Amino acid sequence: MDCLFCKIVNNEVPAKIVYRDDLVLAFEDINPQAPHHILIIPQKHISTINELTSEDNELIGHMVQTAKLLAKELNVADEGYRLVMNCNASAGQTVFHVHIHLMGGRRFTWPPG
């Protein structure tokens, strides 16, 4: 498999890792869109949200809980932060491994691009 995020999980590609446990890995985005921009990924490969099953419910919940924890550590929880998941190319997904973008440290507008 030629998945960039799987290579990061397997330490084959360097990344600025900020969190790791048995289920997820979080690292700094290489093209940040905010002062704080972290990607939270499952350690198991799932290409898109469309491939999630009910067996992944706990995993996705854990990803969101990890985002909440990291937002507190980054001191953006109280002022606000954004979580984004894209599904497939037309929605902006460029790496086909499910991930959550955690962005904070600036004011966001709505609707996004």
Write out the catalytic residue numbers: 99
At residue 7, φ and ψ (nearest 5 deg) are: -65, -35
CA distances 96 to 1, 36, 50, 72, 89, Å, are 11, 22, 11, 28, 9
Neighbour-count burial of 85, counting CB atoms closer than 10 A to its CB (0-12 exposed, 13-18 middle, 19+ buried): middle
Neighbour-count burial of 86, counting CB atoms closer than 10 A to its CB (0-12 exposed, 13-18 middle, 19+ buried): middle
